[in-house]
Amino acid sequence: MHISFTRITALAFFVFVILNTATAQQVNRCATDEKVTKHLLNNPAAAQNFFSILENARTIKEEREAGLRGGSPMRYIPVVFHVIHEGGTENISKAQIEDQIRVLNEDYTRTNADTINTRDVFKPVAANSNINFRLAQIDPDGNCTEGITRTFSASTSNAGDNVKGLIWWDNTKYLNIWVVRTIESDGGQGVTLGFSSLPGFGGGANDGIVVRADCIGTIENVNQQLGGTGRTLTHEIGHYLGLIHPFQGGCIPTFFGETIEDTPPVANPNFGCDSTVNSCTNDNPDMPDMIENFMDYTNDECMNMFTLGQKDVFDATLSGNREELVSPANLIATGTGGTPAVACAPVADFYAENTMVCEGDLVGFEDNSYNGTIDTRAWSFPTGSPTTSVSASPNVQFDTPGFHNVSLTVTNTQGTDSKTVNSYIYVSPENATINNWQFFEGFEGDNSNNEWLIFNEGNVTTTWQQVSNVAYSGSKCMKISNNSGNTSGAIDALIMPSINFTAITSPATLRFKVANAQRPGTQFSDASEDRLKMMISTNCGKTWQTRWNKAGADLATVSATSSAFTPTSQTQWEEITVNLNSFAAQDNVLIKFEATSDEGNNIYIDDINLTGPVGIEEAISENDFSVFPNPSDNTIFVNFNLNNDEVVELSVNDLTGKTVRTIINSKLNKGAHTLVINKNELNASGIYFLNLKTNNSIIVRKILFF
C-alpha cells in the first residue's frame, strides 16, 4: 500500500495528523508529538531531513524484499545519561542506568525474554534491529567517563526542553538522555513519561531524549505503576531513530504519504493489553492492532517487538542523519568501540539539603561525586563547624550571618578532583535587618540593593539587574531579561532583606509595581508564559509559601510584542497589593520575587512598599490628599481635607524608618489644610517617606528631593 503526495502537501498533512491525534489521546505517556509539531512549525525546513530518511527507508525496503540487501551489521550508539536532580529518588544510581542499557540492548536485538508473547500473525515481520547502546567512556573533552553526568537543579520538576540547556554533549557523537523527576504536559493529558526529537528536528542542543527517572530500567527507584520494565526509553529511542506512533493519523497512512506496511495502522492509541482490538478494518490485508509494538501506548508488559519495516527506518536514519553517531571513528572517539570499560578518576560534586538557613542551623551535605569509585574524600567548611570532614554526608553548623564557601576533594587510584562553590550557603541573621513598620525600596541608589540577595540557578550571566532610565518613579528599577539571554526554565530570585513583622502595624500590606509584555503567539508557536511569583519564608529561606503568582497574559501589563519590552510611562505599570496579615507575628520574614523564564519578554519591578494599614473609615480621604510637586528641588506642599476635627501627625522618615522631621503633631479643625515641607529642613537630598496619621488612619507617600 503506497499513497503518493507532493512534499508540500505531505508536510501539511503530517502537521494535521500530529495535531489532531495528539489532542485525542486519553493520556500523554509520550510528548514527542507536541514537541515535534512545535519544532516543525517553527522550522518547516527541518522536514526535509525527514523526507530524505523516508525515501531512503523505501529504497532499503525494496532492496530487502528483492533479496538485494544483506543483513545489517551491529550498530553501536554512544549514550550519555544526564541526571538532573535535587537529591531525591530522581538521582538514580549507576546500577539502574546500566539495567536500562541492558533492556535497550535486548529490545533492539530481539533477545528480550517476552518475544514468546508475539502473536503468530506478527512473528514473520518481527525484527532484530541490530542496534546496541553503550555508555560513553570518553567525554567531549577527551576525559575518561562512565557515560553519566549529574546536575543539581530545580528544573528536574516539570521539565521540558529547558533541562537541555543545563548540560549537553555533542549530539553528532552522543545520544543525550536527560533524566528528570517529572515532565511538563505541554498540552497533553495525563502523566508524561518522556519525549524525543526526531532525526533532523530540534537540532544541536535540542537533540535527544527527556525521560522520567522512575521509568529507567527495572530496579531500585522504578515506578511499577508507570511500567517498570524500561520500555519508555525503548519507545522514545524509536522516535529518535525515525519512528512516529502507529496511531498517527488514525487509519489514514502517514509518514508523509509513506506507510510502514508491515505495521498495521491504528485508529487511536491502545492502552492495556487487549489482543482482540482491530481498529482499522480498511487496511489491506486487514490485520489486528499490533499491541506488541514498542511504538504504541500499550502497557509495557504487552510490548515486545519492532517490525522489519521499522528496522528499515532505523537503517535509513543510521546511514543518513545519524550516520556519524555510529561511525567507527566516533566509536573510537567516545570509547564505545568494544574495548573493556576502564576505571575513571572521580568528578567531585555535592549538594546541600538547604542552601539558605538560619543563624546557628545545621546544614546537611551529600557527596554526589560520580564517574568513579571514591576512595577518599575531604570536605572544607572554612566558616563552619566542623571546618573539615571525611564523611559522605556531613552535618555542619554555621553561626555567622552571610555567605559561606564549601569545597570537596575526592580521590581514587585514577586521580583526584575538587569542587569549590563560593557563597554556596547563605545564613540569615538571627535578628531581622528591618525592624520598622514600613519599608520602601525604589532601587534608586547605586548600591540600593546591597542587602538584597540574588540567586541565579545555573550561574548564567542573565539574572536580576538594576537598570537606569527605566522606572515607575525615579530613574531606576530591577529587570530580568527574558527577551534575550535568559534560557527557558531559568529561575532567578530577588530576595528582600529580612523583616521583623512584629513591628508592623497590622494588617501588613506589600505593594509593588510590575511591568511586562508577553511575547505573542503565532500560527507556529504558543504565546510565552513567563512567570513571576512573590513568596514568603518564615524559616530563613528553607521553605517558601507563594502569596502572589502570575504568568503569561495575566502577568502582562501592556499588549503583547515580539520586540524587547521597555516601559515608557507609568500607565504601562501595574500596582500589586498583597495582604500579609497572617505573618504579623513573625519576627524574621524573607520576601522573594522569583521569575521563571519562558524566553518571552522582560519583567520589571519597582517601588516595593511595605506598610501598615490605610483605614477604611478614614478621617482623611485619599481622594482629598495630594503631594505636589513631587519630586521637588525645594518645597513640597501637602494638601488634605479632614472629615472631622482630628489630631494630625505629619512626619518625614528616611529609608530606614527613622523620623528625620515632624512637621505637625496637633489637633486640626475639620476642613481643608495645606502643610509645607522644605528641603533645607531635612538632612539631604534623597527619598523619604511622608506619613500622615490620624486617630484611625495612616497615609504614606514616597517623596523625593533632588
What integer pLDDT is reported at residue 563 of this predicted model? 93
pLDDT, tens digit (0-9, with 9 covering 90-100), for 129-143? 999 999 999 999 999
Q: Looking at the chain, which residues constitute the CATH 2.60.120.200 domain(s)? A: 439-611
Q: Is 236 a catalytic residue?
A: yes
Q: Looking at the chain, which residues constitute the CATH 3.40.390.10 domain(s)? A: 7-334
The region of weakest confidence among 87-96, 216-225, 696-705 is 696-705
**Dist. CA 355–CA 129, nearest whole Å:** 48
Q: Which CATH class is domain 351-428?
A: mainly beta
pLDDT, tens digit (0-9, with 9 covering 90-100), for 174-204? 999 999 999 987 655 568 899 998 887 756 7
What's the rounded mean pLDDT across residues 629-653?
A: 84
Query: Does pLDDT of 705 surpass 90?
Result: no
Give the rounded percent of residues in the chain with a pLDDT score beyond 90: 46
Query: Does pLDDT of 384 surpass 90?
Result: yes
What's the rounded mean pLDDT across residues 341-361?
A: 92
The region of weakest confidence among 38-42, 142-146, 466-470 is 38-42
What's the rounded mean pLDDT across residues 409-414?
A: 96
The region of weakest confidence among 147-161, 169-183, 253-267, 506-520 is 253-267
What's the rounded mean pLDDT across residues 452-477?
A: 83
CA distances from 192 to 26, 163, 302 (A): 12, 15, 19
**Dist. CA 490–CA 497, nearest whole Å:** 23
How many DSSP H helices and E strands does the chain contain? 8, 32
What integer pLDDT is reported at residue 618 of this predicted model? 45
What's the rounded mean pLDDT across residues 450-461?
A: 72
CA triple 206-211-216, angle to 5 deg: 140
Q: Looking at the chain, which residues constitute the CATH 2.60.40.1930 domain(s)? A: 622-705
Q: Which of 236, 529, 594, 599 is catalytic?
A: 236
Question: How long a stretch of residues is the chain?
Answer: 706
What's the rounded mean pLDDT across residues 492-515?
A: 83
Cell of 456: 541565579
What integer pLDDT is reported at residue 3 of this predicted model? 32
What integer pLDDT is reported at residue 458 of this predicted model? 57
CA distances from 583 to 97, 108, 588, 594 (A): 46, 58, 10, 19
Q: Looking at the chain, which residues constitute the CATH 2.60.40.10 domain(s)? A: 351-428
What's the rounded mean pLDDT across residues 118-130?
A: 94
Amino acid symbol at 340 = P
Query: Does pLDDT of 78 surpass 90?
Result: yes
CA distances from 46 to 39, 195, 203, 240 (A): 8, 18, 9, 14
CB 703 within 8 A of CB 636: yes
**Dist. CA 683–CA 660, nearest whole Å:** 7
What integer pLDDT is reported at residue 506 of this predicted model? 59
Domain covering 7-334, topology: Collagenase (Catalytic Domain) (3.40.390)
What integer pLDDT is reported at residue 545 of this predicted model? 93
**Dist. CA 626–CA 56, nearest whole Å:** 77
Distance of CA 552 to the CA centre of its chain: 15
DSSP string, 467-522: EES--SSSSEEEEE-TTTTPPTT-EEEEEPPPB-GGGSPSSPEEEEEEEE-PPPPB
CB 691 within 8 A of CB 700: yes
Domain covering 439-611, topology: Jelly Rolls (2.60.120)
Please name the CATH architecture into which domain 622-705 falls.
Sandwich (2.60)
Greater model confidence, 1 or 632:
632
**Dist. CA 169–CA 334, nearest whole Å:** 11
Query: Does pLDDT of 82 surpass 90?
Result: yes
pLDDT, tens digit (0-9, with 9 covering 90-100), for 204-246? 778 899 999 999 999 988 888 887 899 999 999 999 999 988 8
pLDDT, tens digit (0-9, with 9 covering 90-100), for 269-290? 888 888 899 988 877 678 899 9
CB 264 within 8 A of CB 288: yes
Q: Are strands 350-352 and 646-653 parallel, antiparallel or unpaired?
A: unpaired
Residue 338: burial class (beta carbons within 10 Å; 0-12, 13-18, 19+): exposed
Q: Are strands 350-352 and 75-85 parallel, antiparallel or unpaired?
A: unpaired
Task: Give the H/E segment covering residue 104.
Answer: helix 94-107
Per DSSP, 353 falls in state S
The region of weakest confidence among 69-78, 101-110, 613-622 is 613-622
What integer pLDDT is reported at residue 648 of this predicted model? 87
CB 371 within 8 A of CB 144: yes
